[in-house]
Chain A
Amino acid sequence: MQIQPILAALRRHRLATLLITLQIALACAVLSNASFLISQRISRMHAPSGVDNAQLAEVSVEGFAPDQASNVNARMLAMLRGTAGVSSAALINAVPFGDPAANAGIKLDPSEQGTHGVMHFYVGGPGAFQALGLKVVEGRAPQAGDYQPVADFTPKQAPVVITRALATSLWPQGHPLGKSIWIGSRRFRVIGVVKGLIRPAPFTSSNRPAQGSIFVPGQPGPQLVGRYLIRVATGQMDSVLERVRKAVRQMGPQVVLDEAQTASVESLHSSYFQTDRSMVALLLGVVAALLLVTALGMVGLASFWVSQRTRQIGVRRALGATQGAILRYFQTENLLIVSAGIALGVVMAFALNVLLMQYYEVPRLPLGYLPVGALALWLLGQLAVLSPALRASRVPPVVATRSV
């Protein structure tokens, strides 16, 4: 296939060629960035929480006076443990995808300037660690003697369990056990490492890693009251929560259920990612519309060029060009235009990415997304040009002998 005649023909339609090339370039830039954003959001939604979302739920109550804490805790735990379908219940200050309870910047040394990021402190009463079902990969789980009274939001000092991701980022050389984490003058000694535990509100900012969770054993009391974690047998979540709601209503006016914070971790997860889901839907819609418009543009232009060149095609056919040769001519022409568009589009894609990074928390566009956008546009171009090109190939040689 000679491309010389194609280039010569395109040179005669410089403006139209330039326009369609620009359109493809823009489409390529938007397409690569949009597919990157889509995959980023989807991977967030599927980030492992480290716990069994479908079997865990939180139950929150409020409305009681602070001096009623022990009484409320005792009554609530007894009620929850007595509810059919609940296999364990414990006090906790927050659950994954629920309201965060204790975010704090941590230091590895109290005299250090700056922090190592803001982590979430999960404070759990006896049984909470087990109810979460966390997998210990190093060290040990909290034991009976580890639970100390909570002052303000955590115990003054306590043994803690951290996630593997956090351990690796704080101590890249390993051996996290026995090391200390500080918040102000509060000291937390690492006694164990778990496989994973996502923070309540992950992916909000870059200095708050999703796996930046620290589990602190704490004694139930005035500062650890009103929020409970329950583990429920498979398939019974809805009926258990319904029974719990009813039981709380019967506990009288001093204890009121906090509806928004009484839900399974699974449904908290679903509402937490609601905006991401709508954004993904919107991006997908834009990508689809974009591909459609670009394809239609190429169909339209190719059809015009085919009908404009009917006579030339007839001449070529009369001079011995096969149908296949005509078909290939238009396909190659499209391939050239799309390739030029993609070449320009790659540059624009990175420019757009740089722009997005400046204003929004968007990471750098990985190179892998460019071939995806390019391949999609090449395929789209070939599909779009197929019908006009086929029409061109069916132009009979006799057209050459007619005057228009």
Chain B
Amino acid sequence: MLSYYLQLAWRSLRRYKTLTVLMVLAIAVGIGTSMTTLTVLHVLSGDPIPAKSGKLFRVRINTFPDDRFQPTDKTPDNLTRRDATALLGDARGDHQAVMSAGSGVLITPQGEPMRAQARYTTADFFPMFNVPMRYGRAWNGQADTAHARVAVISSQLNDLLFGDQSGVGKTLQFGDASLRIVGVLGSWDMNPRFYDLSNGEYGDSEQVFVPLSTALDLHLGTSGTMNCWGNAKDAHDLDAPCIWLQYWVELDSPAKVAAYQRYLHNYMALQQQAGRFRHPAQVRLQNVMQWLDYKGVVPADVRMQVWLAFGFLMICLLNTVGLLLAKFLRRGGEIGVRRALGASRRDVFMQYLIESLVIGMVGGLLGLVLAYAGVALVRQQPTEYAAFVHMDLGILLMTLLLALVASLVAGLLPAWRAMQIQPARALKAY
């Protein structure tokens, strides 16, 4: 029966070529735009570290003095060095890392000065964020306490400085500092760069990693948000009234999360007792996805585009429903003949539904091609996320599913109406 209906559909579609092309195009354009925008949204709101995103938590506490505290304000993103050092010393998580972004000048083998992006952090950073190593290994906790003059560099920087040889054991001249290279990163791209969103949300990983203690000793240049109150000789000092350090903790079970929450509240209570501030303790512990959501990493424009595209798909579908309806009802005579010859309502319904499905599937396939073209177009845009936008299997299946659902929705009403045509009246009018 199915092949007969397909044959009938094919005949009917060929009979009204322009109309068929019109309907297929409308569905294709609607699905193409929707899927393009959805792909961008899907990529941008994706999980940068799926294996661990539920276990890594950004720690935020509000240690502003009372005259700086507004209950309605958001809890600041960063910590003072004093608080970060205290939390790190207690080491209540499975792993924890303090970090700051920075940059410094390198001299390339060609003798050209070049600015390199750096991350000053503590040893746990590497196991916490699943950072793969190509050569050597990351520094350990002892290197942090010893303020060791060591560095880990990116694969790309290694190739630039040392060609295809390993740079481990060689010396890296970073600004005025001479650092011994202990490790070279494997390929590691976190996009969005969730661990520090203040220096560009998308992009390559840093080229140089240095222990935070060492970077502070050597006064290496930091970058990122520095929010100070009161006067400090150097904003990087241990007791400077400045918030600028990012703090991440890994907690492997819900029980540990609850325990860590209690620990942070206790810590804040101790600070209140010590007279640092009297305002209510604000403690925020967010995992990777909550943190990305809180920071609004997906641009508002992208969300708006998705809405717009689906509105457009709606219009295309309405258009198709209207055209199908007109087309099916025009064939009232034909339907009357079929019914009079013994076809049940169900048969008529199926026949017309299959005709709609054929249109929907052809439109969906064409829409998939358009979505590929759309994604290629998005990649040409000079936005910082452009390079990461790509189609994956999930999106591909979703496109086909959307086409199927769309054509079913579009075909249901016209087929229903066609089925209800009274054979006697239709034949009389014929």
Query: Interface on A for B, CB 8 Å cutoff?
Result: 13, 15-16, 19-20, 22-23, 26-27, 29-30, 34, 62-63, 65, 152, 249, 253, 256, 258, 271, 274-275, 278-279, 282-283, 286, 289-290, 293-294, 296-297, 300-301, 303-305, 307-308, 352, 356, 359-361, 404
Q: How far is the CA of A26 from the CA of B318 in the complex (A)?
A: 10
Asked if B326 and A300 make an inter-chain contact with CB atoms under 8 angstroms apart, the answer reads yes
Q: In chain B between 284 and 310, which residues have their CB closer than 8 angstroms to a CB of chain A?
A: 299-301, 303-305, 308-309
Report the minimal beta-carbon distance from B69 to chain A, rounded to whole angstroms.
13
B314 beta carbon closer than 8 Å to chain A: yes
Partner of A289, one of B33, B112, B318: B33
B384-419 CB contact bits vs A (8 Å, 1 = yes)? 000000000000000000000000000001000100
When distances are taken between beta carbons in the complex, the residues of chain A under 8 Å from B303 are: 359-360
Report yes or no: B113 in contact with A23, Cβ–Cβ below 8 A.
Answer: no
The residues of A that contact B308 with a CB separation of less than 8 Å are 30, 34, 283, 286
Closest Cβ–Cβ distance, residue A355 to chain B (whole Å): 8
In the complex, what distance in Å separates the CA atom of A243 from the CA atom of B280?
A: 57
Q: How far is the CB of B320 from chain A (nearest CB, A)?
A: 8
Bound Cα distance from A289 to B27, whole angstroms: 12
**Distance, CA A13 to CA B332, complexed state (A):** 14
Q: A34-B308, A63-B105, A296-B26 are in contact. Are A290 and B322 (CB under 8 A)?
A: no
Residues in chain B near residue A303, CB distance under 8 A: 19
Given A258-B115, A283-B308: A304 and B319 interface contact (C-beta under 8 Å): no
For the complex of A and B, 9 pairs with smallest distance between CB atoms:
A297-B319, A19-B322, A304-B326, A23-B318, A63-B105, A256-B113, A300-B323, A360-B300, A26-B315
Contacts A/B (CB < 8 Å), 15 sampled:
A15-B413, A16-B325, A20-B318, A23-B319, A62-B105, A62-B115, A63-B115, A274-B381, A293-B30, A293-B316, A293-B319, A297-B318, A297-B323, A303-B19, A304-B326
A282 touches B29 (CB 8 A): no
B135 to chain A, nearest CB (A): 27
Give the docked Cα–Cα distance between A207 and B325 (Å).
Answer: 52
Q: Which residues of A contact B299 (CB under 8 A)?
A: 275
User: Which residue of chain B has the shortest Cβ distance to A114 in the bound complex?
Assistant: B70
Let me know if B383 and A19 touch, CB within 8 A.
no
Residue of B nearest to A297 (CB): B319
Query: B279 at interface (Cβ–Cβ under 8 A)?
Result: no
B107 within 8 A of A: yes
Interchain nearest-CB distance for B243 vs A (Å): 15
Q: Write out the residue numbers on chain A whose beta carbons fall within 8 Å of the beta carbon of B301.
A: 275, 279
* 4 more A-B residue pairs beyond the given contacts A20-B318, A360-B300, A360-B303, with a C-beta to C-beta distance below 8 A: A65-B176, A249-B113, A294-B315, A307-B330
A256 touches B115 (CB 8 A): yes
Closest to A19 in B: B322
Give the Cβ gap from B202 to chain A, nearest Cβ, in Å.
Answer: 13
Which B residues are CB-close (under 8 A) to A356?
304
Rounded to whole angstroms, the CA-CA distance of A305 and B325 in the bound complex is: 12
Contact with B304, one of A26, A29, A360 (Cβ below 8 angstroms): A360
Distance A130 CA – B221 CA, assembled complex (angstroms): 32
Interface string of B112-145 (1 = CB under 8 A from A): 1111000000000000000000000000000000
CA distance A249 to B327 in the complex (A): 73
A352 to B308, CA, bound (A): 10
Q: How far is the CB of A367 from chain B (nearest CB, A)?
A: 21
Query: How many chain B residues touch the partner (CB < 8 A)?
Result: 48
Complex Cα gap A303–B311 (Å): 26
Determine the residue in chain B with the shortest Cβ distance to A352: B311
Least CB distance from A42 to B in Å reads: 15
For B327, the closest partner residue in chain A by CB is A304
Residues of B within 8 A of A (CB): 19, 22, 25-26, 29-30, 33, 103-105, 107, 112-115, 175-176, 221, 228, 299-301, 303-305, 308-309, 311-312, 314-316, 318-319, 321-323, 325-327, 329-330, 381-383, 413, 417, 430
List A contacts of B22 (CB < 8 A): 296, 300
B-chain residues with CB within 8 Å of residue A289 when the two chains form the complex? 29, 33, 312
What's the minimum C-beta distance from A143 to chain B, rounded to whole angstroms? Answer: 29
Known contacts: A30-B315, A258-B115, A293-B26. The answer to whether A15 contacts B382 by CB under 8 A is no
Give min CB distance, B104 to chain A, whole Å.
8
CA distance A22 to B316 in the complex (A): 11
| B417 touches which of A15, A26, A34, A307 (Cβ 8 Å) | A15
- A16-B326 in contact (CB<8A): yes
Q: Which residues of the partner chain B approach A282 to less than 8 Å between Cβ atoms?
A: 305
Q: Are B383 and A278 in contact (CB under 8 A)?
A: yes
Instruction: Find out whether the CB atom of B325 lies under 8 angstroms from the CB atom of A290.
Output: no
CB distance from A13 to the nearest CB of B (A): 8
Contact B383 A274 (CB under 8 A): yes
Q: For the complex, give the distance between the alpha carbons of A300 and B326 in Å.
A: 9
Residues of A contacting B304 with CB < 8 Å? Answer: 356, 360
Measured CB to CB, the closest approach of chain A to B288, in angstroms, equals 23
User: Which chain A residue lies CB-closest to B323?
Assistant: A300
Instruction: Tell me the smallest distance from the CB of B44 to a CB of chain A, in Å.
Output: 13
A253 pairs with B319, CB closer than 8 A: no
Identity of the chain A residue whose Cβ is nearest the Cβ of B176 in the assembled complex? A65
* Residues A20 and B26 in contact in the complex (CB < 8 Å), given A275-B299, A286-B33, A308-B330: no
Task: Determine the distance from Cα of A275 to Cα of B327 in the docked complex, in whole angstroms.
Answer: 43
Give CA–CA (A212, B29) in the complex, Å.
43
**Known contacts A62-B115, A258-B115: A15-B319 contact under CB 8 Å:** no
Q: A315 → chain B, closest Cβ, in Å? A: 15
Known: A23-B315, A300-B19. A293 touches B29 (CB 8 A): yes
Contact B175 A30 (CB under 8 A): no
CB B361 to nearest CB in A, in angstroms, measures: 19
Are the C-beta atoms of A297 and B314 separated by less than 8 Å? no
Residues of chain B with a CB closer than 8 A to A307's CB? 330
* Minimum Cβ distance to chain B for residue A147 (Å): 22
- A9 vs B119: C-alpha distance in the bound complex, in angstroms? 73
CA distance A35 to B388 in the complex (A): 30
Pair B115/A301 contact, Cβ less than 8 Å: no
Q: Which residue of chain B has the shortest Cβ distance to A276 in the bound complex? A: B301
Residues of B with C-beta under 8 A to A27:
315
B325 touches A19 (CB 8 A): yes
Chain B's closest residue to A307 (CB) is B330
Distance (whole angstroms) from the CB of A340 to the closest CB of chain B: 14
